[in-house]
Structure 1
Amino acid sequence: MIKVNEYFEGNVKSLGLNNSQGNYTVGVLLKGTYEFSTSTKEWMTLTSGNWDLELPGEEKKSYAIWESCEIPSGIVFKVYVNEDSSYLCRYE
């Protein structure tokens, strides 16, 4: 089953899949700043576009295309989307 998610008045959308390799979402984000919370550990990978991520207690960091960021469970973090972007997210 494919799970459809929509956030921030439709500016962030994703499709979710859970299979034998794990739990994943692929999605798109329109330019803007978004704050997300986590309930599990995640790995976010930028697949196109340009963004910066800011984890609690850390400075904002830019990521290259296909670069991943490990995001701990139980935090709130910010994504600064500098141009419309796409991503892959794996959940643990």
Structure 2
Amino acid sequence: MLAVNEYFEGQVKSIGFQGKDKPASVGVMEPGDYEFGTGAPEVMIVVSGALTVLLPGSDCWQTYHAGTQFDVAGDAKFQVKVETQTAYLCLYG
């Protein structure tokens, strides 16, 4: 079953689904600055556009472009800056 989610007053929208091996979601972010929290570890894959990210425990922002990915630990918060509409795939667990 699909789960449609909307965050930050509609600036981030995603559709959650059960992937082959683990839960996942696909979504799009509008330009803006966001803070996300994780429950379980996540792998974020940038599908289109770019995400500039400040990961937990880091002092440096890093930009991830389409075709790249980054890992976020479980039970953590991370910052994201988006300059153009960006699509992503998130794998949980």
Identity %: 38
Partner secondary structure for residue 83 of structure 1: coil
| Separation (CA, whole Å) in 1 of partners of 2:72 and 2:39 | 10
Q: Aligned partners of 1:67, 1:37: CA distance in 2, in Å?
A: 20
Which residue does 2:35 correspond to in 1? 35
Query: Distance in 2 between the 1:19 and 1:26 partners?
Result: 11
SS across alignment from 2:50: strand
What residue number does 1:78 align with?
79
Give the equivalent residue in structure 1 for 2:21. 21
TM-score of the superposition, structure 1-length normalised? 0.95
Hey, what's the Cα distance between the residues in 2 that align with 1:7 and 1:38? 14
What is the DSSP-based 3-state SS (H/G/I as helix, E as strand, rest coil) of the residue aligned with 2:67?
Answer: coil
TM-score, normalized by length of structure 2?
A: 0.94
The runs of at least 4 consecutive aligned structure 1 residues that moved more than 6 Å come to none
Aligned residues: 92
Q: Does 1:61 align with 2:93?
A: no
State the 1:62 CA deviation.
Answer: 0.7
Q: 1 CA distance for matches of 2:72 and 2:90?
A: 10
Matched, 1:9 2:28: no
